Structure 1
Amino acid sequence: MADIRHPPLKNISSGDGGYQDPPFPWAVTLLASVLITTIVVDILGNLLVIISVFRNKKLRKAGNAFVVSLAIADLVVAIYPYPLVLTAIFHDGWIAGYIHCQISGFLMGLSVIGSIFNITGIAVNRYCYICHSLKYDRLFSNKNTVCYVVLVWVLTVLAIVPNWFVESLQYDPRVYSCTFAQSVSSLYTITVVVVHFILPISIVTYCYLRIWILVIQVRKRVKPDNRPKIKPHDFRNFLTMFVVFVLFAVCWAPLNFIGLAVAVNPALGQAIPKWLFTASYFMAYFNSCLNAVIYGVLNHNFRKEYKRIVMSVFKLRC
């Protein structure tokens, strides 16, 4: 096991300080396969996203600054924390030591909160672009957009820092990860879920509902003719980012609601099956590789640029 002459590497357990049931071999193989797939698709896909935006003029728009920022947030976990989790799966325990545990947990939190805050930024951007198009260029000038992206990451760091003060970054053998311990403080867990998940999801839901209402009005021609129309490519771009949001919410909701339920009623911690808890975590982990795939499937400009980049790489190798 790891050298833990640093502060002891705490384990989150289901209650008694030890951990009881050894994992089934097929379950370990499944978790490792999911994580390996996530790492490979995450790194390749999000690198394609970043390179595409910088190469293609049609993609170099203010709103796509948040897309690049979101891709960076997804890349962070694939480069450092996920490989350490994979190592823990293969060794059936954390072997990297206390410092790497803390850094891994911090970067995981940075990634997930950075993702939801960037998704919120994308939603607000799309809302302003479609519902308040006359003010959009002033609100999202290049300078302002850079400031918004910087603000997203400043808020993300500020949201993560308290974890070190409450010592909530601990190793959980159920998910082979150094992660946020939901059992450290009920009040803190509730605050985290509300501020880091429910509030941003509510803002995004409001923005997209307003856009959908406008789209329906346009389709039914109940929208006044003197107001700007929604162009087909603008609707496709909105639909792409809406799918990104829905998949994020679906992948992360189980874990957040489990945390909220346990915080409200700690006795539920014993009742939640290990497989459900583990599945909710790896479902959330898998989300980091989905966005790049969604862009390629739903966005014509991203799809074309992906092909160009891949063809360029193959030509260089040949």
Structure 2
Amino acid sequence: MFLFNTFTHVYCLAWGCLSVVTICGNLLVIMFVFYFQQLHTPTNYLIVSLAVADLLVGIIVFPLSMAFSLSSCLYHEGLFCKVRISFDITLSTASILNLCCISIDRYYAICQPLTYTTKISYRVIVIMILMSWGVSVVISVSIIIAGLNNETCEESCFIDVLIENTIGPILSFYLPVIIMLCIYLKIFLVAQRQARSIWNTTCQRATGGATVSKMERKATKTLATVLGVFLLCWTPFFLCVTFLPFINNSVSLPVMETLNWLTLSNSMLNPFIYAFFYSWFRSAFKMIISGKIFQGDFTDSKLS
């Protein structure tokens, strides 16, 4: 009993800290974008939409998941479990789709810079955000309904299993991942081509070669971080969900919960990858930490 109570306390403390970091990180991102005039750009509004989804994951999904992991709810699929699952699916899918929209925005910014302002306007950004959230709600409702229908069938209903384990994951994960992989590969190839162009312009001087090498390393590191962390957090869970019907749902509940926690941790990491990675966000963070932002109006400050 003592060991169980100790484990429970450690478990709650660990995931409570994770929830707090997720909430604080995403709150800072939202605050930075709305406070500093320089950050009022289409790209950053997409980052705000992503931060809102991840913030709600920290506020709603983390506490519910932690409570249900320590209760019998997981074994009886009650009403509150359905609420937890619906929030989980909606917010996680919204987070993924927002990441996909950010990759599309970066594609036009890097690969088609001359037409970027005309193709990625504020109206287009609003449409992308609304579609991300709308599709997330539709997918969540469809999967929940399919799960409820399954409970009324003597055997698993084929169409509901298809929605819950195939169509849902395809729309929520596999399709956005394929889109992001293709886009980031294109961005990487364009960045390499631009780097080689700079190298040729500098007549292959040593400094030019060093610049090219640095640019290529930076592009490689950025894309590897973005895609690597995302795939590391999400792939195991969706692979497990997809293949569950083929293994007679034999995956244990603790394994599924562990995989689910891994996906949720991506909401904590997103602010660091997609926001604090940029220098102007780091500058804004320093202004907050130093207290400078409370000493006057710095909304028009130029962030380096």
Does residue 127 in structure 1 map to residue 127 in structure 2? no
Structure 2 CA distance for partners of 1:133 and 1:169, relative to 1, 3 Å: farther
Q: Secondary structure at the match of 2:197?
A: coil
Question: Offset of 1:92 from its aligned partner?
Answer: 5.3
User: What is the distance in 2 between the residues matched to 1:186 and 1:223?
Assistant: 54
> Is the Cα contact below 8 Å between 1:106 and 1:169 reproduced in 2?
no
Q: Secondary structure at the match of 1:298?
A: coil
Note the alpha carbon deviations across 1:247-294, whole angstroms, 9 max, x for none: 12210100001111223x133x32x45554332121112111111233
Does residue 278 in structure 1 map to residue 257 in structure 2? yes
User: What is the distance in 1 between the residues matched to 2:223 and 2:95?
Assistant: 13
Note the alpha carbon deviations across 1:46-78, whole angstroms, 9 max, x for none: 000000111223322111111100111111122
Give the count of matched residue pairs: 274
Structure 2 CA distance for partners of 1:106 and 1:93, relative to 1, 3 Å: closer
Structure 2 CA distance for partners of 1:91 and 1:190, relative to 1, 3 Å: closer
Counterpart mapping for 1:233-312 below 5 A: 243-263=225-245, 265-267=246-248, 269-270=249-250, 272=251, 275-295=254-274, 297-312=276-291
Q: Secondary structure at the match of 2:185?
A: helix
Give the TM-score normalised by structure 2.
0.76
> Is the Cα contact below 8 Å between 2:69 and 2:257 reproduced in 1?
no
Structure 2 CA distance for partners of 1:198 and 1:25, relative to 1, 3 Å: farther
Partner of 1:146: 126
Q: Secondary structure at the match of 1:167?
A: helix
Does residue 207 in structure 1 map to residue 189 in structure 2? no
User: What is the distance in 1 between the residues matched to 2:219 and 2:139?
Assistant: 29
Question: Offset of 1:125 from its aligned partner?
Answer: 0.6
Question: Offset of 1:310 from its aligned partner?
Answer: 3.3
- Counterpart of 1:216, as a letter, is Q
> Is the Cα contact below 8 Å between 1:63 and 1:122 reproduced in 2?
yes
User: What is the distance in 2 between the residues matched to 1:67 and 1:140?
Assistant: 14
Does residue 216 in structure 1 map to residue 195 in structure 2? no
Q: Secondary structure at the match of 2:85?
A: helix
Q: Secondary structure at the match of 2:42?
A: coil
Structure 2 CA distance for partners of 1:118 and 1:239, relative to 1, 3 Å: farther
> Is the Cα contact below 8 Å between 2:234 and 2:262 reproduced in 1?
yes
Instruction: Show structure 2 runs of 5+ residues with no match.
Output: 151-155, 202-211, 296-304
Instruction: Show structure 1 runs of 5+ residues with no match.
Output: 1-22, 171-180
Instruction: Give the alignment's Cα RMSD to 1 decimal.
Output: 3.7
User: What is the distance in 2 between the residues matched to 1:206 and 1:30?
Assistant: 41
> Is the Cα contact below 8 Å between 1:53 and 1:64 reproduced in 2?
yes
Structure 2 CA distance for partners of 1:236 and 1:70, relative to 1, 3 Å: farther
Structure 2 CA distance for partners of 1:39 and 1:296, relative to 1, 3 Å: same
User: What is the distance in 1 between the residues matched to 2:267 and 2:149?
Assistant: 20
Q: Secondary structure at the match of 2:291?
A: helix
Structure 2 CA distance for partners of 1:240 and 1:281, relative to 1, 3 Å: same
Question: Offset of 1:207 from its aligned partner?
Answer: 0.4
